[in-house]
Structure 1
Amino acid sequence: LIAGANANAWQNTQDLARLNGHAVAKTLEHVIEANAGNKFIAYNNIPPDILKVKTKSNSKGVLMMNPGDLDEASWIVHTIPGFPKALTGYVFPPAEIQKGHLFICLTIKESEIDAIAMALRIATPLIYHNDIPEDPARPNLKKLVNGESRLTPPLTVTRQISTAAAPGLKVTIYSKGEKSKYAHL
């Protein structure tokens, strides 16, 4: 998926093991820096510094919002166990350096957070950091962080969101719970 004005001008990234201005570290700067103004939810089935956790989901990601801008947010979906460590500086897990990984970042409007939260409720991710403030406009986010994932069957959901830049790239989110109607496949 390539979108944006400079989509064809990509360059190879710097060494991901070090904080040196590469795209991953830049994208996560509001997650890794100890700053009370940073607001985000981080989830990972293998959270940093927590051993032998049982989860119902393999989901990994970060949902960030900018409290200074009323309609600016980002959603990162990735495959890296134990990453990122919240508010402690950039540390890429050494055991993951030699493995292939995927890292997708969508710049979205804050108004899309609740649709993403609805999809995440189905997947029941393990949230290991949350400081996004409650808001009546985000009821699914509140239910997600409170662990309220009970929904009626078929326990699958499809939601559509758009990226922030005009005209906005349409993104369809497919989410499945551990007991969906497709569990027998």
Structure 2
Amino acid sequence: MLFLWLLISCSPHGGDASPISCYNDRGEATDWFYMYKLPKEHGTASGLRYFLLDRGGADWAPGQGDINDTSGALGRTLGQLYTQKTEVAYILYNDQEPQPPPLRPIHHRGGHTKGVLLLDTTQGFWLIHSTPYFPASPRAMGGYSYPDSGVHYGQNFLCVTFPLKSFQTIGEQLQINQPNVYSCDVPPSFAAAVPALAAACHKNGTWVPPANRSVALTSVGGTRFVDFAKGAAFNDDLYHSWVAPALRSDLLVQYWNRSGGILPSDCSLGWKVLGVTRVSPSGSPAYNHTKDHSKWAVSLGPAVFDSEGGGWLCVGDINRNRAEEKRGGGTLCQRDAAVWKAYRTAAVDFQPCGSAS
């Protein structure tokens, strides 16, 4: 009984049936948030320090506590996965799924994707992240916990609250991405509204996904995003061959550089795609890109024909290497002045075209 009481008391709703949402560090439902966890060598010895920027914020704010805290933004948001009393649908996917330590590592060769979908009959959230072996299935014992596998390197998170109708489109995008779904439940009561989620969960369905597709998505609060999803058949670099031309923006891209076949910065198609080499979120001590496992892209300057203000920021799944040209994945992009500035200033140096890595 004590264990059950602790689970309920950690819920952002206190056990009631409030709509599922992203949550900020103040315990408030929010339309979206970005989170940047620093590497272990920078900020604190624990490797659990983070910065947060949610809707209405002007810049990064220091996290209130550690990323492992159940009362923080990530703990409150994912805590709903373990404490809900009403019927929900969820999908957890990760190319490096959670496994007991003796069974690690495991690397699936489908989509290079990591994320969480959780929704009720009115709305839910989509969390895109970069952390291996995370999060634990709700079928496992215990609640929210941040894994050791995400401590050493920098990690990134984007959470967006979407209305129910958006999850049909998101489900189709997931099918293009070909993710490794390691835990899911889409009850029959959701099947009529979001059949694409049921198909992604059960790996069935009659829809034949295209090689790639971009779609517009609008959050519960009216924020507009553009999602780019590619499958293995796309067989090209996501950022250089597609995202940069589509957004009409030169891009600085932060990605995992500790793999084979890394692609150099490329200016050959008219739009520059430049690899970030030094990172400093919120003015923290700058560190080398090899200490960062995040996958994000920020426009070099404000977007062309920028009627909304600010440039583009995209958070996603794919690294720039030869192997991942042949794997599914994608990126979710937003144009917002504060978000663009937060990430543009985090990219303190980059590799020019024509230079060695």
Q: Is the 8 A contact 1:65 1:132 kept in 2?
A: no
* Structure 2: 5+ residue stretches without partners: 1-33, 35-52, 238-321, 326-357
Q: Is the 8 A contact 2:75 2:144 kept in 1?
A: yes
Alignment-mate amino acid for residue 62 of structure 2: N
Q: Which residue of 2 aligns with 1:170?
A: 224
Shift of 1:182: 2.7
Give the match's secondary structure for 2:117.
Answer: strand
TM-score when scaled to structure 1?
0.83
TM-score when scaled to structure 2?
0.45
| Structure number having the greater helix percentage | 2
Shift of 1:96: 1.9
Q: Which residue of 1 aligns with 2:184?
A: 130
Matches within 5 A, 1:16-95: 16-17=67-68, 19-33=69-83, 37-49=87-99, 51=104, 52-66=106-120, 70-87=121-138, 88-95=142-149
Q: Is the alpha carbon distance of 1:152 and 1:125 closer, same or farther for their aligned partners in structure 2, counting shifts above 3 Å?
A: closer
Q: Which residue of 1 aligns with 2:158?
A: 104
Q: Is the 8 A contact 2:95 2:111 kept in 1?
A: yes
Q: Which has the larger radius of gyration?
A: 2
Equivalent-residue separation in structure 2 for 1:22 and 1:152 (angstroms): 37
Q: Which residue of 1 aligns with 2:201?
A: 145
Q: Which moved more, 1:37-46 or 1:114-123?
A: 37-46
- The count of residues paired between Structure 1 and Structure 2 equals 177
Alignment-mate amino acid for residue 154 of structure 2: G
Equivalent-residue separation in structure 2 for 1:28 and 1:152 (angstroms): 29
Give the match's secondary structure for 1:98.
Answer: coil
Q: Which has the higher contact order (CA 8 A, sep 6+)?
A: 1
Q: Which residue of 1 aligns with 2:234?
A: 180
Structure 1 vs Structure 2 CA RMSD: 2.5
Q: Which residue of 1 aligns with 2:57?
A: 7
Equivalent-residue separation in structure 2 for 1:38 and 1:143 (angstroms): 16
Equivalent residue for 2:217, pick from 144, 161, 169: 161
Q: Is the 8 A contact 2:186 2:201 kept in 1?
A: no
Alignment-mate amino acid for residue 47 of structure 1: E
Shift of 1:11: 3.0
Q: Is the alpha carbon distance of 1:100 and 1:32 closer, same or farther for their aligned partners in structure 2, counting shifts above 3 Å?
A: farther
Q: Is the 8 A contact 1:32 1:85 kept in 2?
A: no
| Structure number having the greater strand percentage | 2
Q: Percent of pairs identical after alignment?
A: 22
